Structure 1
Amino acid sequence: MSPEKADALAAEVRDWLTSSGIVSAERKPCVLGGHLGFPPGPRADEVVDVSGWSLPWQDVWFNGLDVAAGRTVFDAGQGEPMAVTCPHCSVRIELVDENFALVHTAWDPFHEVVDGWREGRDVVIPCPACARPVEPASWIWADDHFAFGHLGFTFWNWPPLRPEFVAELTRRLAGHRVVLLEGKF
């Protein structure tokens, strides 16, 4: 997806979310990262599963929608990446030991992939098992720890998104790959 297409699609989806009342159109400091986001709208409860959540979840100060259009590494935000799998040979590369500490000899090449993407570079490395080169966005991260893309929607501190909402959002993303990261797009 080109940056121009990412910007246009971000605006289209953002307009749908605001016009449907899922998020408020007025931007406020409600997301992490020092910029403005879109607070939950009057119909936000309709797209989340609040079972097991103490209400009102909307009162947390950083609970807005952050729309990122541009080359971004999206991450699950908790803990270390556990493993990554080669898309060619399906070999799983463990990145942590039995104590959940990073194994630096395994992690370091992937660290370069992640940092490279953030810096605007495509760091293509060969799979340690089959030696075939793998593009950054093609690695399969355990628990979808990372996703590399040009457009993302982060719903900060929202309860789990309802499957029907995820399906509608996916439809509106016009066939682009969608990865759900621990309640974040």
Structure 2
Amino acid sequence: MGDYFQTIVDLDATERDAQELGARVLDWLIAQGIVNAERTDCVLDGDGYGHEPGPHFAKAVDDPEPVDLWSNGLHVQTGRTVFDSGQGDAGAATCPLCLTEIRLVDETWQPIESAWAPFQGRFHDWAEQGGEGIVHCPSCARPSGIDRWSWEDDYYACGQLGFTFWGWAELSSGFTREVGRKLGGHRTAVLRGKL
């Protein structure tokens, strides 16, 4: 058992525009009836308060059957955050400069410590210290910020803005594209996970 969630992360939002973009998308979701305007105790992150599904939530999901769970709402998060998929870990990371995939687990899904070494502490540096979290690629040896790396199955995403849907059916690709358009065409990542 567990609680499932999906997070749409804006990969391009800056610290300065994250609040405004989050409010813009939330206003659109409310106007469309996808979520309710009132905040209630319905999510597992932040302060526990989020927006319950609205009367037209089915516009956002592939399966329109309502889910009757306590944790069944939307949480909007702003600020430097390393979003992740909950249980487990990423199987691989891809360098943004040379596009080499670095395997992080072996064939039995055990972490490869030497492969993880360049990433140690970099998420913390980026999220908590406000730095770039510089990673030197094991393949090309060039430096780049941890926020520029991509992760197998979108396991991690570094961003200033995220929309987490708790207990919803799978978000449709059309809906996630429309959220990207409402964000001004920003690149997005969709993380799916379980706690």
Asked if 1:35 corresponds to 2:48, the answer is yes
- Residues 35, 88 of structure 1: CA spacing in aligned structure 2 closer, same or farther, 3 A cutoff? same
Aligned to 2:184: 174
Paired AA for residue 45 in structure 1: A
Work out whether residues 85 and 191 of structure 2, in 8 Å CA contact, stay in contact via their aligned partners in 1: yes
Work out whether residues 82 and 158 of structure 2, in 8 Å CA contact, stay in contact via their aligned partners in 1: yes
Higher strand share: 2
Matched residue count: 180
Q: Percent identity?
A: 47
Aligned to 2:174: 164
* Aligned positions of 1:26-175 closer than 5 A: 26-33=38-45, 34-50=47-63, 55-57=65-67, 59-119=68-128, 120-175=130-185
Paired AA for residue 27 in structure 2: D
What SS does the corresponding residue of 2:189 show, helix, strand or coil? coil
CA deviations on 1:124-164 (whole Å, 9 max, x unpaired) are: 02101110111111112111111111111111121111222
| C-alpha RMSD of the superposition | 1.8
Paired AA for residue 131 in structure 1: A
Higher helix share: 1
TM-score, normalization: structure 1? 0.89
Paired AA for residue 109 in structure 2: F
TM-score, normalization: structure 2? 0.85
Segments ≥4 residues shifted beyond 4 Å: none
What SS does the corresponding residue of 1:4 show, helix, strand or coil? coil
